Amino acid sequence: MRDEIQTLTSTVIYENKWMRLKEDKIRRSSGSEGIYGVVEKPDFVVILPVQDGYIHLVEQYRYPIKKRCWELPQGAWEQNPDADHALLAAGELKEETGLVANKMHYLGQQYLAYGFCNQKYHIYFATQLTFTEMSLDPEEEGLITQKISLASFENMIISGEIQDASTVNAYGIAKLKGML
């Protein structure tokens, strides 16, 4: 059976520089009609900076859930959504942690939540790290960075202290690919 869906209309409900929310009226292959709410966001990167048995994390306040969270460095360039994701990864790593990686290994891409969002992320494994200086965006006010042993990081995932799906997923992919 073919799962083709025809878009009949598409209406932008809300838009800002970070995202667009659309409501699409659709017709399924069976002929029945329905709607989809679709969030459009630029792709982002997730970086695993690892050196000497330690991983570098960032902690920042996440407004939608009203708490501070530990996660891997990650981000997008909304002003340049078509930027090369390798350059984006290097830029976000330096911006959020002050680290520059001599080696960046691309691990692949994943979708964040393709049931309602078109956003995907590219995963990079960063090694041979050198500290320079951080240069945070205003939206990253209060962001801190810390290096944590890989064993402690895994315990933070197991205990539920780290709940960011892209962080856990990126680490799992790196481990499955034999990078850790």
Q: pLDDT tens for residues 97-129?
A: 999 999 999 999 999 999 999 999 999 999 999
Residue 152 tokens read as: 């402690």
Domain with CATH 3.90.79.10 in the chain: 44-176
Residue 157 tokens read as: 């995932």
| Residue 49 three-state SS | strand
Instruction: Extract the runs of DSSP E, i.e. beta strands, from 77-119.
Output: 99-111
10 bridge partner residues = 24
pLDDT, tens digit, 9 for 90 and up, residues 129-152: 999 887 777 777 788 999 999 999
Cβ neighbourhood burial of 6 (10 Å; 0-12, 13-18, 19+): exposed
Domain 44-176: CATH architecture, name and number where available: Alpha-Beta Complex (3.90)
